[in-house]
Amino acid sequence: MTIQVLGPGCKKCEALAAITERAISDLSLDAQLEKVTDYAQIAGMGVMSTPALAIDGTVVLVGKVPDVEQVKLLLTTGA
Protein backbone atom coordinates (compact mmCIF):
# COMPACT_ATOMS: atom_id res chain seq x y z
CA MET A 1 0.00 0.00 0.00
CA THR A 2 1.28 3.45 -0.93
CA ILE A 3 -0.11 6.40 0.96
CA GLN A 4 0.59 9.93 -0.22
CA VAL A 5 0.20 13.20 1.67
CA LEU A 6 -0.21 15.91 -0.93
CA GLY A 7 0.72 19.48 -0.07
CA PRO A 8 3.48 22.07 -0.10
CA GLY A 9 4.71 21.28 3.41
CA CYS A 10 2.54 23.70 5.38
CA LYS A 11 1.55 23.12 9.01
CA LYS A 12 -1.67 21.35 8.00
CA CYS A 13 0.24 19.11 5.59
CA GLU A 14 2.72 18.16 8.29
CA ALA A 15 -0.14 17.52 10.73
CA LEU A 16 -1.83 15.21 8.21
CA ALA A 17 1.45 13.36 7.67
CA ALA A 18 1.94 12.85 11.42
CA ILE A 19 -1.66 11.69 11.91
CA THR A 20 -1.33 9.31 8.97
CA GLU A 21 1.94 7.87 10.33
CA ARG A 22 0.22 7.22 13.66
CA ALA A 23 -2.75 5.55 11.96
CA ILE A 24 -0.42 3.31 9.92
CA SER A 25 1.43 2.35 13.10
CA ASP A 26 -1.75 1.76 15.13
CA LEU A 27 -3.12 -0.51 12.39
CA SER A 28 0.24 -2.25 11.85
CA LEU A 29 -0.12 -1.72 8.12
CA ASP A 30 2.56 -2.61 5.61
CA ALA A 31 2.43 0.79 3.95
CA GLN A 32 4.79 3.30 2.40
CA LEU A 33 4.13 6.96 3.26
CA GLU A 34 5.20 9.55 0.69
CA LYS A 35 5.00 13.32 0.89
CA VAL A 36 4.21 14.90 -2.47
CA THR A 37 5.13 18.59 -2.57
CA ASP A 38 5.38 19.18 -6.32
CA TYR A 39 2.47 21.40 -7.37
CA ALA A 40 2.31 19.94 -10.88
CA GLN A 41 2.06 16.40 -9.52
CA ILE A 42 -0.57 17.47 -6.97
CA ALA A 43 -2.65 19.23 -9.64
CA GLY A 44 -2.17 16.24 -11.95
CA MET A 45 -4.00 14.15 -9.36
CA GLY A 46 -6.93 16.56 -9.52
CA VAL A 47 -6.22 18.18 -6.15
CA MET A 48 -6.85 21.93 -5.93
CA SER A 49 -6.96 22.25 -2.14
CA THR A 50 -4.38 20.89 0.27
CA PRO A 51 -3.65 18.98 2.34
CA ALA A 52 -4.89 15.88 0.61
CA LEU A 53 -4.47 12.15 1.15
CA ALA A 54 -4.21 9.48 -1.54
CA ILE A 55 -4.19 5.71 -1.14
CA ASP A 56 -2.60 3.73 -3.97
CA GLY A 57 -3.03 6.73 -6.27
CA THR A 58 -6.69 7.43 -5.42
CA VAL A 59 -7.40 10.71 -3.63
CA VAL A 60 -9.60 9.99 -0.60
CA LEU A 61 -9.40 13.27 1.34
CA VAL A 62 -9.01 16.89 0.27
CA GLY A 63 -8.67 20.18 2.11
CA LYS A 64 -8.81 19.13 5.74
CA VAL A 65 -6.94 17.51 8.60
CA PRO A 66 -8.95 14.62 10.07
CA ASP A 67 -8.31 12.92 13.38
CA VAL A 68 -6.49 9.60 13.68
CA GLU A 69 -9.69 7.56 13.79
CA GLN A 70 -10.93 9.09 10.53
CA VAL A 71 -7.61 8.28 8.83
CA LYS A 72 -7.77 4.71 10.14
CA LEU A 73 -11.23 4.38 8.57
CA LEU A 74 -9.90 5.71 5.26
CA LEU A 75 -6.95 3.32 5.37
CA THR A 76 -9.10 0.27 6.08
CA THR A 77 -12.05 1.04 3.81
CA GLY A 78 -10.62 3.46 1.24
CA ALA A 79 -13.61 5.75 1.70
Write out pLDDT tens, residues 5-25: 999 999 999 999 999 999 999
Burial per residue of 51-63, b for 16 or more beta-carbon CB atoms within 10 angstroms, e otherwise: bbbbbeeeebbbe
How far apart CA 13 and CA 36 sit, in angstroms, is 10
Catalytic, out of 3, 5, 6, 13: 13
- Residue 32 bears catalytic tag: no
Task: Report all structural domains of the chain as residue ranges with CATH numbers, in order of start.
Answer: 2-77 (3.40.30.10)
- Residue 10 bears catalytic tag: yes
Residue 50 bridge partners (DSSP): none
The full length of the chain comes to 79
Which phi and psi (to 5°) does residue 4 adopt? -120, 130
Catalytic, out of 1, 2, 9, 10: 10
pLDDT digits (tens, 9 = 90+) for 19-62: 999 999 999 999 999 999 999 999 999 999 999 999 999 999 99
Which phi and psi (to 5°) does residue 61 adopt? -155, 135
